[in-house]
Amino acid sequence: MANIISIHSFRGGTGKSNTTANVATLLAAQGRRVGVIDTDIQSPGIHILFGLEGEEITTSLNDYLWHGREIEEAALDVTPNLGGEIKGQIFLIPSSIKPGEITRVLREGYNARKLTQGLSDLVEKLALDVLLIDTHPGLNEETLHILFGLEGDEITTSLNDYLWHGRDIREAALDVTPNYISPA
């Protein structure tokens, strides 16, 4: 059974993607098979931290959500981009950086249940030890579904009054209490 960890914040610019990339690299260095999925579909960017240019992304999470591709087809092995001695592997499932695809998300949203099923499929088909989910900041239906639709943990990258207010809203909306991994 893989560990599934969502990296979330209630606002942008708090280091979610950097935290995700660093944790993924540390886990892979220990020999683990790690999946990283960029569910910040409205403003994707973690691919840059793994050394990918836009033209290198030929298949993305968007292709799974809207175009009938299997989610594992979007998985890119970014391990060679890391340099150094990495015993495991990192598979990145990027979101599309194409303006038309981003606009579609803003206009239509996406099927959060399909994404949750895809995450489970990804863990199984790539035989992952850990799946890290780089979420969209703030609260929306898709992010709530990711945070509570899967059995897993959460790393929250900003601890302030806004976070705690957001946490109260989120818990009230779903009537559950999440497991938190919070920086001390």
Point out the least confidently predicted range of 78-82, 99-103, 143-147.
Answer: 143-147
Q: Is the pLDDT of residue 153 over 50?
A: no
Report d(CA 50, CA 53) in Å as an integer. 9
Q: 183 in a domain, yes or no?
A: no
Q: Rounded to whole angstroms, how far apart are CA atoms 102 and 95?
A: 9
Does 60 or 16 have the greater pLDDT score? 60
Confidence of residue 125 (pLDDT cuts 50, 70, 90): very high
Phi-psi region of 35 (alpha: psi -120 to 50; beta: other; left: phi over 0): beta
pLDDT of residue 85: 84
Asked, for residue 184, whether it belongs to a domain, the answer is: no
Element (H, E) at 161: helix 161-174
Continuous segment of H or E residues that includes residue 93 = strand 89-93
CATH number at residue 119: 3.40.50.300
Element (H, E) at 130: strand 130-134
2 within some domain: no
Residue 181 lies in a domain: no
Q: What is the pLDDT of residue 43?
A: 83
Please give the average per-residue pLDDT across 144-149, as a whole number: 55
Once rounded to an integer, what is the mean pLDDT over residues 138-147?
A: 59
Say whether pLDDT at 155 is over 70: no
Structural domains of the chain, count: 1
The residues, ordered by sequence, that sit 6+ positions from 52 with a Cβ below 8 Å of its Cβ are 76, 78, 81, 92, 94
163/184 Cα distance (integer angstroms): 14
Residue 180 lies in a domain: no
Mean pLDDT for the stretch of residues 105-119: 82
Domain that holds residue 24: 7-175
When pLDDT is cut at 50, 70 and 90, the band that residue 90 belongs to is very high
pLDDT confidence tier of residue 55, bands split at 50, 70 and 90 = confident
Average pLDDT value for residue range 74-95: 93
Q: 111: pLDDT confidence band, cut at 50, 70 and 90?
A: confident
Query: Is residue 52 in a domain?
Result: yes
**Residue 53 — pLDDT band, cuts 50, 70, 90?**
confident
Residue 165 lies in a domain: yes
Q: What is the pLDDT of residue 172?
A: 42
Confidence of residue 21 (pLDDT cuts 50, 70, 90): very high
Residue 157 maps to a domain: yes
